């Protein structure tokens, strides 16, 4: 069995807001919107055609640098296209979030990556 891992570098959040009010970055053509709600971080994943990307088979994590501390949070899938993580405390201003997820599509393994900075 041959497994191909594709990664085109880390996508940085673009200016503007997504449909859910968060910052959007694209990774391999997939828009990934980051939203913080209280002590949750939520990533909305889109397919390359703009439709919601099902997340039930996607594994993801977020590495957060905030206030001099680095924390890694495992993300849980939630229908239809969400990956959600729980924080110990709300993120501070200028926190850095590095998102990474692994998905299998058409028999190939893809790694999606994106970076965000809170306001």
What's 52's DSSP letter? Answer: B
Classify strands 96-105 and 59-66 as parallel, antiparallel or unpaired.
antiparallel
Q: What is the pLDDT of residues 62-119, one digit of tens each?
A: 999 999 999 999 999 999 999 999 999 999 999 999 999 998 877 888 899 999 999 9
Confidence check: pLDDT of 1 > 80: no
How far apart CA 47 and CA 30 sit, in angstroms, is 5
Confidence check: pLDDT of 3 > 60: no
| Domain count across the chain | 1
Which domain covers residue 21, as residue numbers? Answer: 5-117
What pLDDT is attached to residue 33? 97
Whether the model clears a pTM of 0.75, i.e. scores above it, the answer is yes
Classify strands 11-12 and 108-117 as parallel, antiparallel or unpaired.
parallel
Average pLDDT for the chain: 87
Residue % of the chain over a pLDDT of 70:
87
CATH number at residue 13: 2.60.40
Q: Which residues of 67-96 are buried (b: 16+ CB within 10 A; e: fewer)?
A: eeeeeebebebeeebbbbbebeeebeeebe
Q: How far is CA 35 from CA 3, 30, 109, 119, in A?
A: 32, 16, 26, 12
């Amino acid at each position: 069995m041959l497994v191909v891992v594709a990664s085109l570098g880390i996508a940085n959040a673009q200016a503007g807001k997504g449909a859910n009010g968060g910052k959007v970055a694209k990774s391999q053509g997939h828009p990934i919107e980051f939203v913080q709600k209280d002590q949750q971080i939520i990533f909305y994943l889109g397919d390359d055609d703009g439709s919601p990307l099902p997340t039930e088979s996607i594994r993801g994590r977020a590495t957060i640098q905030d206030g001099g501390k680095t924390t890694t949070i495992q993300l849980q899938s939630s229908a239809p296209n969400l990956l959600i993580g729980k924080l110990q405390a709300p993120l501070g201003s200028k926190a850095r979030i590095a998102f990474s997820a692994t998905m299998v599509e058409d028999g190939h393994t893809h790694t999606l990556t994106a970076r965000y900075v809170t306001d």
